[in-house]
Amino acid sequence: MPADDRTPGVIDAIRTRSSKRAFLPTPVSREQVEAILQLAGLAPSGSNIQPWQVYVVSGTARDRLCDEVIQSASGDRSGHGREYDYYPNPWREPYLGRRRACGWGLYSLLGIVKGDREAGLRQELRNFTFFDAPVGLFFYIDRDLKQGSWLDYGMFIQTVMLAARGFGLHTCPQAAWADFHSIVTPLVGAPAEQMLVCGMALGYADPDAPVNAFRPERLPVTDFSRFQGFD
Ligand SMILES: Cc1cc2nc3c(=O)[nH]c(=O)nc-3n(C[C@H](O)[C@H](O)[C@H](O)COP(=O)(O)O)c2cc1C
């Protein structure tokens, strides 16, 4: 661990990054966000095409957007949904088991018991306040770009999250926002040719919030890697 958690080196940035779901109201400046995005722009992309388009909201723009999406998410959701498949359909093992373990791990930290749909919905709606983070990012991609560009995009988004650690900031990537692209897109001013990939909360994590201690388990390297030629 670094002596000072605010300025981690790269390995510490990787280790200390985790999705935070409770943020302090401490403001984050435009300069900080620009510096993070400048670093993230150094991410690699096939033929250096840099397929990312980022819309950043704070202050009243953020508040208005949150209010509108919460209103829709609290009511009838027919007509909403993301424009791309994120998950397998139908779910299958081993992914289903991992997904369940993640969900129940989070809920148990939050004191949400199985079957308490209202509490589950309340927690889901917290996505749409960016978990109280002062800054929200929306990642858009030109819809005619291909799978390779989505690969590039993942690298960009991870670089945003690691760069944020360099400023003592934390993040939560949020696919939840993509379900409400029809509300988000006109509010951020993205053109119709662009598709919302996901949102992200950016801010200072609340160190006292129990939910921020959530660290879902990872597989050991030997479960997902095969080595050859090493003696
Ligand atoms: C693209 C992407 C979308 C995600 N969407 C959400 C989301 O909508 N809400 C949420 O609470 N967490 C979301 N997560 C966070 C994952 O649950 C989290 O990354 C995973 O459980 C591993 O935990 P860690 O990020 O703390 O290491 C998302 C993560 C990724 C990479």
Half-sphere exposure of 64 (CA within 13 A, CB side): 9
Task: Please tell me the predicted confidence (pLDDT) of residue 2.
Answer: 45
Tens-binned pLDDT, residue by residue, of the chain (231 aa): 444 555 669 999 999 999 999 999 999 999 999 999 999 999 999 999 999 999 999 999 999 999 999 999 999 999 999 999 999 999 999 999 999 999 999 999 999 999 999 999 999 999 999 999 999 999 999 999 999 999 999 999 999 999 999 999 999 999 999 999 999 999 999 999 999 999 999 999 999 999 999 999 999 999 999 999 998
Identify whether the C-beta of residue 123 lies closer than 8 Å to the C-beta of residue 112: yes
Q: How far apart are CA 224 and CA 202, in angstroms?
A: 30
Could you tell me if 202 and 133 are in contact, meaning their C-beta atoms sit under 8 angstroms apart? Answer: yes
pLDDT of residue 5: 53
> What confidence score (pLDDT) does residue 36 get?
98
Q: Give the CATH number of domain 10-84+127-215.
A: 3.40.109.10
DSSP string, 113-166: PTT-HHHHHHHHHHGGGGGG-SEEEEEEEETT--HHHHHHHHHHHHHHHHHHHH
What do you get for the CA distance between the two ends of the chain, in Å? 32
How remote is the CA of residue 128 from the centroid of ligand 1, in Å? 14
Q: Rounded to an integer, what distance in angstroms lies between the CA atom of residue 137 and that of residue 173?
A: 9
18 lines ligand 1 (CB under 6 A): yes
pLDDT value of position 45: 98
Q: Which atom in ligand 1 lies closest to the alpha carbon of residue 216?
A: 23
Mutate to test the pocket of ligand 1, among 15, 19, 108 (most ligand atoms within 8 A of CB): 19
**Predicted local distance difference test score (pLDDT) of residue 231:** 85
What pLDDT shows up at residue 178?
98
Domain boundaries, the chain: 10-84+127-215
| Residue in 69, 141, 153, 174 to alter for ligand 1 test, most ligand atoms within 8 A of Cβ | 174
